[in-house]
Amino acid sequence: MTRANPILRFFFWLIVSIFAGTGLLILAIYLFLAPTLPDTQELKNVELQTPLRVYSADGLLISEFGEKRRSPLTYDETPKQFINALLASEDDAFFEHFGIDLKGLARAVVELIRTGRKKSGGSTITMQVAKNYYLSSEKTFTRKFTEIMLALKIEQSLSKEEILELYINKIYLGKRAYGIEAAAQVYYGKSIKELNLAQLAMIAGLPQAPSAANPINNPQRAIDRRNYVLARMRTLDKITAEEFEEAAREPVTARYHGATSEVTAPYIAEMVRRDMLDRYGDSAYTAGYNVYTTVDSKRQQAANRSLQSGLLKYDRDHGYRRHDNKAPFTLLTVGTDELLQEWLTKADTSRDIDWPATLDEWSSLLRNSNELGLISPAVIASVEDNGAWYYQSDRLNWLPLAGMAWAKPYIDVNTIGKEPESARDVLTAGDRVWIEQSNDGPVLAQIPEAEGALVSIRPDDGAIQALVGGFSFGSNKFNRAIQADRQPGSAFKPFIYSSALANGFTPASIINDAPVVFEDKSLENTWRPENHSGKFYGPTRLREALYKSQNLVSIRILKQVGPRTAVNYIEPFGFPRSKLNADLSLALGASAVTPMELATGYCALANGGFAVKPYIISRIEDDNGNILYNAEPDVVCHDCEKESPADAEVAAEELLTIEQELAALEAQQEPDAETPANIAPRVMDARTNFLMISMLRDVVRLGTGKRALALNRSDLAGKTGTTNDQKDAWFSGFSPDLVTTVWIGFDQPSTLGRWAYGSNTALPVWVDYMSTALDGVAERPFEQPEGIVSVRIDKETGLLAAPGQANAMFEYFREEDVPKEPAKIITPAGGSNSTAEPELTPEQLF
């Protein structure tokens, strides 16, 4: 026993030395690392990286931008069943331990000693929070010790619920999803609160291997991990045996869901993204900004549909373009490539096909082909005389011959072939096609080659209500609404006529519509402009010339006003001066502008003569809802112009006293809430504006804009536009509440065809859109200002009508411009009266 004492003492002191050494080592590590530990109180105010989100004016999501998809939740918002699943999977003793799991760490140390490799880290959820928020993912002992000490510090600073909240919002769960709510949206397209037990367990199992074992990249491994989580929940008695069995049998229902857009407005989203990047740099993608636009979701959806419908109709009217884009078939007996190619050229399906394998491959092809609004991709499975079977949405569908009756062969822009007698004349098995779902059933479609744009603006302040920059943002991101400079043709004439009215002309002014020749050394040839019809109409009233869109009248009035005078007048409407030709070509709309610029100019016509600037961002909020920016646009204020007449009898001294007293009273009063902070400047006299609107209303009532009468409203005005060789088709029109411009043409300017005009190509799109955009908006007459009178005039001369004259009409004038001279009346033997040939002055002739 005595001899054993030295041995026992040796082992005793050895153990003491080991513990003391370990303690000293830990103390040394602590003293070394403690000064570098961050303040864990900062976790309470941590800013999670969240994406930029863009919303419509009514709060619907348009788009989101950012590498990290994240939607933070509070602990109380998290389903209890998910908490149980997560703790069962990651840290079942979370609510009992003090930040570290001694058993888990000991197990990790034993594994390291036994195998020489680090397998499990023994990390608790608190340690993972420390790593995710403060540390890197490198596997070193220093980082592990720092992680442990941080976990202990976090446990002292935060409650268990706060720690768990940080974890579930920070953890990466694959597919750019950070946090459990983002993961639920990515994998299931739902909120975490809407998921069932199997789906919750699937997400709870993702932290271990989010990229390699998520249900999209590796469904079988994800099922194995999900069932492990369910088994752990059953072991911990968090679910019943029945719940376990039912959830473990569920198939994988996850698939990738992009950002859930509630309003399709990709061109607008891109405009906002660029603006935010200019404002905030790269932090725009991570700081969680919420941008609310001026876009009305109802009007935006109508704009998408109307423009696509119009382009599809134009495309159908010009025939079907056959292509060789085929989807592959998988044959039961594998043949040579030549045999397969020979089979694919035939319409029958007599050969043996491995349909399950073929349909699987087609499904993959279709999933990777984006839907383009009204049309979606499909594959023709077989063709019969009276129709064809097409594969779409994981099933076969029937396309009748009537759905492809339009598909006459395209020959050129002016020529199409014969109507198909059989579906075999149009399609063959394996064709990759596009299908449009119409009210009458499916219709064969194709992506139009012609493009278009639609811009809709609230004229009182310039708020953009809807904008579409092309047929599909997915296939072409060029925003024609703001980037395409195109000649507006006759759609620009209202500004030429406005400058004429502002410089002495009246709607009754007589202009001679006769041939004119211009010789200019800068031109290679002599310029002989013509009306589109090729006819000349002689002396014509200004009003009539506008609604008939007579080119020669526009040229003559611009020549009299002067191109530079006209440019000076037109520029303040919102047109860049650099784009306005200071020559006679301006009269024919040869100065290229964007649809946005043309719509902006029309706003000044619609709102009574005030210049507004279009804007898309209404306000910007940070991720806590604090407003960082509020738009303060120039707003039309008719009442702001009204002034009380001065009393001419008041002496100068008395007037000064009154003004001083009024100023003192105003200083004591609160500002009028009705008066806007920024008042839009007037660029057009109110009376000139009214005369111009009355003429543009006649374009709709009597002229090229008659299709707009389908809306059955009396408060519409506008102008069509068609350029040389029908390269551009336009319609710009408005009510007092809404201005909309539509353009259609090819990106590389070429003719739309000899029958394509603004009246039958762009105007139907405008009518279709405005029927929805103005639904529920009461008719509102254009206000007639003081100083405008209506008198009867002779239609032929524009002079005052004689009493009892039969062919007279009412016309609006400024009071000072009312004709003084009556028309001369000839009473023939028959008794009816008519005007004599007038003796026109040189001014009237020109």
Catalytic residue (choose from 490, 499, 591, 732) = 490
Number of residues assigned to the chain: 846
Question: How many CB atoms are located within 10 Å of the residue 422 CB?
Answer: 15
Quick one: angle between helices 219-235 and 241-248, nearest 10? 180
Report pLDDT digits (tens) over 793-806. 999 888 998 888 88
Q: Which residues pair with 455 in a beta bridge?
A: 467, 741
CB 436 within 8 Å of CB 427 = no
Burial class (CB in 10 A: 0-12, 13-18, 19+), 299: buried
Nearest Cα residue to 192 out of 325, 344, 19, 70: 70
**Which residue shows structure tokens 């198939």?**
251
> Which residue's entry shows tokens 């209202």?
494
According to DSSP, the β-strands at 738-745 and 451-457 are antiparallel
With tokens 């045996």, the residue in question is 241
Backbone torsion region of residue 356, taken as left when φ is above 0, otherwise alpha when ψ lies between -120 and 50, otherwise beta: alpha
Pairing of strands 290-293, 375-384: unpaired
Q: Is 169 helix (H, G, I), strand (E, B) or coil?
A: helix
519-537: average pLDDT: 56
CA distance 86 to 494: 67
Calpha distance 585→555 (Å, rounded)? 8
Spatial distance between the Cα atoms of 271 and 63, rounded to a whole number of angstroms: 11
Architecture of domain 321-445: Beta Barrel (2.40)
Pair of tokens at residue 256: 């990738």
Residue 818 has pLDDT above 80, yes or no: yes
The CATH number of 453-612+681-773, from 2.60.40.10, 3.30.565.10, 3.40.710.10, 2.60.40.420, is 3.40.710.10
HEC readout, 55-80: ECCCCCEEEEECCCECCCCCCCCCCH
In this predicted structure, the answer to whether residue 112 has a pLDDT above a threshold of 60 is: no
115: buried, middle or exposed (CB in 10 Å: 19+, 13-18, 0-12)? exposed
Paired tokens of 344? 């694919």
DSSP states along 188-224 = HSS-GGG--HHHHHHHHTGGGSTTTSSTTT-HHHHHH
pLDDT at position 374 is 93
Cβ atoms within 10 Å of 308's Cβ, excluding its own: 23
Q: With 0-12 CB in 10 A as exposed, 13-18 as middle and 19+ as buried, what is 281?
A: exposed
Residue 633's contacts (CB-CB under 8 Å, 6 or more residues apart) are 461, 462, 463, 612, 613, 615, 678
Q: Which of 90, 147, 571, 811 is catalytic?
A: 90
Res 246 pLDDT > 70:
yes
Reduced to 3 states, what is the DSSP secondary structure of residue 665?
Answer: helix
Contact, 494 vs 547, CB < 8 A? Answer: no
| CB-count burial class (<10 Å; 0-12, 13-18, 19+) for 837 | exposed
Give the H/E segment covering residue 811.
Answer: strand 808-814
For the chain, domain boundaries: 12-46+70-248, 321-445, 453-612+681-773, 788-845
Segment 691-700 mean pLDDT: 97
Higher pLDDT, 174 or 314: 314
Q: Which amino acid is at 483?
A: Q
12-46+70-248 has which CATH code? Answer: 1.10.3810.10
Start-to-end Cα distance in the chain: 137
Average pLDDT over every residue of 450-456: 97
Whether the pTM exceeds 0.85: the reply is no
Binning pLDDT at 50, 70 and 90, where does residue 361 land?
A: confident
Instruction: Give the CA count within 13 Å in the CB-facing half-sphere of 534.
Output: 0
Give the Cα separation of 316 and 310 in Å (integer).
10
Is-catalytic flag, 544? no
pLDDT mean across residues, the chain:
82
Q: Does 90 participate in catalysis according to the annotation?
A: yes
Tokens encoding 406? 């339009």
Span 139-179, pLDDT tens digits = 544 555 566 667 677 777 778 888 888 888 888 888 878 88
Residue 557: predicted pLDDT: 94
Return the minimum-mean-pLDDT range out of 14-18, 70-74, 178-182: 14-18
